[in-house]
Structure 1
Amino acid sequence: MLLLQPHQQLPASDLADRLDVSVRTIMRDVEALSAAGVPVYTVRGPQGGIAPLPGYRTDVTGLTADESRALFVLMSGTARADLGLGQALGSALRKVMAALPASHRPDADLASRRILIDPVRWRGTPSPDHPAPDLTPFQQAALTDRRLRLRYRHGRDNRVATYTLDPYGLVNKAGVWYLVADQDGEPRLFRTDRALSATVLDQPAQRRAGLELNDVWQGLRRRIDDIPVPLAVTARVRNEILAQFLLIHEADLAAPAPAESPPEPEGEPGWTKVELRFRSLPAAETLLAFGPDAQVLTPEDLRRALARRAEATAVLYDSRQDT
């Protein structure tokens, strides 16, 4: 009955699939409900199905449209499955949807398909401590099925580019908001806090047929999480430049670094040890940019590579060779 109320009529085969029972069981239950006085009946013919009497519903009184939408955003995503509550919460959502005023149901259903909450942080990255950006244009584009023009600063190289995107929706990944969208038909992930500007266009979104936000998100998430174990790096950083170092290498931290640490065992105070992860040895060589203010302790391969680069750089600036 909770499935029927928002749809008014569903084929018996559809009900059987949703409830994981046979069509014969559905028909037997409809007969039992009718005998018990519940106003449900069978519509025969090619366009037939199971339907309740018009007007049979229970309202959840007092809920505004925004409150209804908020319920379905908070309950979406994979968190309920991780807690072992997937079936119970799925049933609860059906009850709430069935009881909502008819005018609120489309927005609530759309919110559940356009906004996801994923509480598990990315492997090797700390939880963010910065405020969320203005999500208004991202929500508007996702909930009205319109294209978005995004001016975006990439995290690795600070390159700025402008994209025309077809949004699937928003995902909150452990406190960081991401836009999931197609760019030229290919799935992409954009951190909303790196957006320099976002403009909703007066053009319908051209998403790939048959795909919802959760489908595209799971593919993008696996693409990132399934990267082979990266290069583990242990380094120490002078406390004077620690804040700058952490700002630049936030995404490379294997675990949140302390604000300060005790002196090193060899008796040299003023250093903080940090654990990092890089995708490759060349990617880790960017640590050389901090010069003598950051020292790699392990692995030895990276230490030798940095030594070679430092030596080659010193040769370029050797004033004796210029003469």
Structure 2
Amino acid sequence: MKSDRLLSILLLLQTRGRVPAHELATRLEVSVRTIYRDVEALSASGVPVYTERGRHGGIALVPGYRTDVTGLTADESRALFILAAQGAHAALGLDEALGSALRKVMAALPEPHRPAAELTSRRILVESSRWMGPPPREVDVSALQDAVFTDRRLRIRYRHSGAGKPRTYTVDPYGLVSKAGVWYLIADRRAVPRLFRADRTQSVVVTDAPVERRPGIELADVWAVLKRQVEKRPGGIAVTARVHRSRYDLFLRMCGNSLIEHPRDDGDSEWITVRLGYGVLGAARMLLPFAEHLEVLEPPEVRAELARGAAEVVSLYAGTPRARP
């Protein structure tokens, strides 16, 4: 709607200052000509907006002009209160600040939207932790948060998964990302994007050297690259297996990230055929916990690998414990 677009332009100018017309057009997915028509409409309604030509020109508001949020729609106001349930602000020490901000938003909302916004916070609950997950580790995210805002290089002590001793790295930080309740430091090391779990970061030191980020690259860009790298599992060994229907949902939760094609389930068969991909032969041993409820059909080398793994488990439990606790 045009009214929503006009409000978006007004808030963008209020937040960003002078903004080129082509940037507004891109952000709002309209033509530059439409942006100029909208600017004329804002001006005609009494908003002190003006344009400047030239290389460093753009569209801007007269300095000192402010507006409130009374233009929020019902859906937009509900979205703000759902945001309060996400939980990330608590780890950043922003609980009180968010509560205060929402009270101010509530006071500025149009009267008809206030009941729906208040009800949203009581009817919607977002829980970021997974079912049956391990106990959360104590993580001082505030230290990392302070560090990434300094625009200085960081020296971190970091312990990799499975490693006994931590290692020291000097990195150029882009920022922090919270995914499924886990915080990550996103940074370049020698101009290569890296991902560091906050709960494995043992210490953070802000150096005197200025940060050296790659030109034109933002946190969202680096995160998109790292996310693709993590999710693009190596699939050098293709495995065909059948899973009993009684364990199929559990299989999807535990092994779904190894699927190389979506299983075809007609809803009637007792067994469901699946196709998986593994980078190394030993990785297929993760299928052993399903016991008789999952059978690898091919290739033969994976069947042999699982047989060896099962034999090793039988041998381990056939006698008395090797060491007493």
TM-score (norm 2): 0.53
1:128 Cα deviation (Å)?
4.3
Q: 2:307 matched to which residue of 1?
A: 304
1:179 Cα deviation (Å)?
1.3
1:226 Cα deviation (Å)?
2.0
What is the alpha-carbon distance in structure 1 between the residues aligned to residue 151 and residue 203 of structure 2? 19
Q: 1:282 matched to which residue of 2?
A: 282
Q: 1:278 to 1:203 in 2, by over 3 A?
A: same
Report whether the alignment pairs 1:208 with 2:208. no
1:159 Cα deviation (Å)?
4.8
Query: How many percent identity over aligned positions?
Result: 51
What is the alpha-carbon distance in structure 2 between the residues aligned to residue 295 and residue 46 of structure 1? 65
1:285 Cα deviation (Å)?
6.8
CA shift digits 1:200-234 (9 cap, x unpaired): 2222222222111111111111111121569799x
Q: 1:34 matched to which residue of 2?
A: 43
1:296 Cα deviation (Å)?
6.9
1:286 Cα deviation (Å)?
10
Q: Which of 43-52 and 166-175 deviates more? A: 43-52
- Among 220, 227, 238, the residue aligned to 1:221: 227
Q: 1:224 to 1:4 in 2, by over 3 A?
A: same
Contact 1:296 1:303 in 2 (8 A): no
- Among 168, 180, 204, the residue aligned to 1:162: 168
Q: 1:158 to 1:301 in 2, by over 3 A?
A: farther
Q: 1:179 matched to which residue of 2?
A: 185
CA shift digits 1:34-91 (9 cap, x unpaired): 222222223344443322222211257xxxxxxxxxx8xx69x9xxxxxxxxxxxxxx
Contact 2:234 2:278 in 1 (8 A): no
Q: 1:213 to 1:308 in 2, by over 3 A?
A: same
Report whether the alignment pairs 1:57 with 2:66. yes
Which amino acid in 1 is paired with 2:195?
A: L
**Unaligned 5+ residue runs, structure 2?**
1-9, 70-79, 87-104, 109-127, 242-252, 256-276, 297-302, 317-325
Report whether the alignment pairs 1:24 with 2:27. no
Which amino acid in 2 is paired with 1:302?
A: E
Q: 1:144 matched to which residue of 2?
A: 150
1:287 Cα deviation (Å)?
12
What is the alpha-carbon distance in structure 2 between the residues aligned to residue 52 and residue 196 of structure 1? 46
Q: 1:279 to 1:130 in 2, by over 3 A?
A: farther
Q: 1:26 to 1:306 in 2, by over 3 A?
A: closer
Q: CA RMSD of the aligned region, Å?
A: 4.3
Aligned positions of 1:1-323 closer than 5 A:
1-58=10-67, 127-228=133-234, 254=254, 280-283=280-283, 300-306=303-309
Q: 1:149 to 1:287 in 2, by over 3 A?
A: farther
What is the alpha-carbon distance in structure 2 between the residues aligned to residue 171 and residue 279 of structure 1? 27
Which amino acid in 2 is paired with 1:305?
A: R
Q: 1:58 to 1:155 in 2, by over 3 A?
A: same
TM-score (norm 1): 0.54
Which amino acid in 1 is paired with 2:46?
A: G
CA shift digits 1:141-171 (9 cap, x unpaired): 2111222222222213435321111111111
Contact 1:33 1:40 in 2 (8 A): yes
Which amino acid in 1 is paired with 2:24?
A: L
Q: Secondary structure at the match of 1:17?
A: helix
Q: Secondary structure at the match of 1:254?
A: helix
What is the alpha-carbon distance in structure 2 between the residues aligned to residue 25 and residue 286 of structure 1? 56
What is the alpha-carbon distance in structure 2 between the residues aligned to residue 208 and residue 120 of structure 1? 33
Contact 2:284 2:306 in 1 (8 A): no
1:27 Cα deviation (Å)?
2.1
What is the alpha-carbon distance in structure 2 between the residues aligned to residue 128 and residue 182 of structure 1? 29
Q: 1:221 to 1:46 in 2, by over 3 A?
A: closer
Contact 1:127 1:174 in 2 (8 A): no
1:120 Cα deviation (Å)?
9.5
1:301 Cα deviation (Å)?
2.4
Which amino acid in 1 is paired with 2:304?
A: D
**Unaligned 5+ residue runs, structure 1?**
61-70, 78-95, 100-118, 234-252, 256-276, 289-293, 314-323
Which amino acid in 1 is paired with 2:17?
A: Q
What is the alpha-carbon distance in structure 1 between the residues aligned to residue 174 and residue 206 of structure 2? 14
Q: 1:279 to 1:19 in 2, by over 3 A?
A: same
Contact 1:168 1:212 in 2 (8 A): yes
1:8 Cα deviation (Å)?
3.0
Which amino acid in 1 is paired with 2:162?
A: R
